[in-house]
Amino acid sequence: MKYFAPKSLEELKDLFLSNHDLNILAGGTDVLPRWQDNPSLKLDVLVDIKKIPELIGIKESETDIKIGALTTVQDLKKSDIIKKHFSSIYEATCQFAGVQIRHRATIAGNICNASPAGDLLPGLYVHNAVIQISGLKGERVVPIHQFITGVGKTILESDEIVVGIVIPKSSIKSLFYKLGLRQSMAISVVNFAIAYEIDENNNWKSLQIAAGSVAPTVIYLKTFTDALFSGSDVDESIQLVDDEISPIDDIRATASYRSKVIKNVLMHIIKEIYVR
Ligand SMILES: Cc1cc2nc3c(=O)[nH]c(=O)nc-3n(C[C@H](O)[C@H](O)[C@H](O)COP(=O)(O)OP(=O)(O)OC[C@H]3O[C@@H](n4cnc5c(N)ncnc54)[C@H](O)[C@@H]3O)c2cc1C
């Protein structure tokens, strides 16, 4: 196996030009266990991007926050900016793995791994995050729900990487819920984020719900939120969630458990934040 550790995006682009099938390594908390479980996986060229300074740091402007690809879950957890503007993302960091993993795991790794159970994803979806991509053909930005296309699948080309994530600032409140099989170091059985505003007349001003581990990708529960938005009662409209999700049985839970738990908890939380 060849190992490279470029010190700039320019150096990385040179590697893309001279090699095919590069395997990008950030924190390694998904790549390395996957490789350990399956040593026959081809990792001929490993490119460690952790020494690229352009990928580091959280920057705030008047309108948005730019989070560098290498920002770790721990960096997000201790950022006052994240805590102030994006509660659901902050809450996800508090329930993410254990402290050692949080210090290694990066935000772009969580996104590019494209697991339906990725804990940072629902918060990024409800805050309308966009992914900044850089590659040999140039730069592009794509909304996160278009970036992830299936289990472990994204739109990244083989000569592209994620350089950052941009999230627009707003006055929208948000929260995150995670159900795991234990308190910490647990992959989500179900997770979701809700972003909402309620106006002075106690009506929804905005509402978005993104749910994980109930479909091949994180999904927006649009039919359910549209029903609430148009005034339907939560007890009646909650059944619409079943039309939107496609959970599976796996080692952590059955599909039917996932369906029941997401509806029960959503109903409970919606009633808590929106009292008629
Ligand atoms: C013990 C343990 C507990 C865990 N607990 C949780 C948990 O509670 N919640 C959760 O969501 N996840 C959890 N994970 C999974 C993992 O920690 C996260 O998905 C993490 O965010 C991955 O980031 P990383 O930097 O380690 O990615 P890596 O393993 O380095 O990379 C993951 C994938 O993304 C690609 N990649 C990384 N960065 C980029 C980039 N900038 N551009 C393009 N491609 C890139 C890599 O090529 C690879 O395919 C856990 C893992 C372990 C081992």
Which CATH number is 203's domain given? 3.30.390.50
Indicate which atom in ligand 1 lies nearest the CA of residue 96. Answer: 8
Distance 30 CA to ligand 1 centre (A): 4
- Residue to mutate (ligand 1; options 48, 67, 91, 113; most atoms within 8 A of CB): 113
Residue 138 has pLDDT above 80, yes or no: yes
Distance 51 CA to ligand 1 centre (A): 17
Residue 184 has pLDDT above 80, yes or no: no
Which two tokens mark 48? 């460690």
Number of domains observed in the structure of the chain: 1
Residue 41 lies in a domain: no
Residue 132 has pLDDT above 70, yes or no: yes
Residue 161 is predicted with a pLDDT of 98
Residue 40 lies in a domain: no
- CB within 8 A of 45, min separation 6: which ones? 1, 2, 4, 19, 21, 22, 23
Question: Within 13 A of 247's CA, how many CA atoms are on the CB side?
Answer: 26
Residue 48 lies in a domain: no
Residue 42 is predicted with a pLDDT of 79
Q: Which of 6-10, 24-28, 179-183, 209-213 has the lowest mean pLDDT?
A: 179-183
Atom 52 of ligand 1, residue of closest alpha carbon: 29
Indicate which atom in ligand 1 lies nearest the CA of residue 180. Answer: 8
Q: Which of 15, 123, 144, 129 is nearest to 65 (CA)?
A: 129
Which residues' Cβ are closer than 6 Å to ligand 1? 23-31, 33, 49, 69, 96-97, 101, 104-106, 108-110, 112-113, 118-119, 156, 161-162, 185
Residue 17 lies in a domain: no
Residue 189 lies in a domain: yes
Cα–Cα dist 162/46, whole Å: 16
Residue 205 lies in a domain: yes
Task: Check: pTM over 0.85? Answer yes or no.
Answer: yes
**Domain residue limits at 261:** 173-273
Indicate which atom in ligand 1 lies nearest the CA of residue 73. Answer: 21
Assign 21 a pLDDT band (cuts: 50, 70, 90): confident
Residue 42 lies in a domain: no
- Residue to mutate (ligand 1; options 74, 101, 121, 181; most atoms within 8 A of CB): 101
Indicate which atom in ligand 1 lies nearest the CA of residue 110. Answer: 21
Tens of pLDDT along 26-74? 999 999 999 989 988 878 899 999 999 999 999 999 999 999 999 999 9
Name the strand (E) or helix (H) holding 260: helix 255-273
Q: Which of 59-63, 100-104, 125-129, 227-231 has the lowest mean pLDDT?
A: 227-231
Residue 164 lies in a domain: no
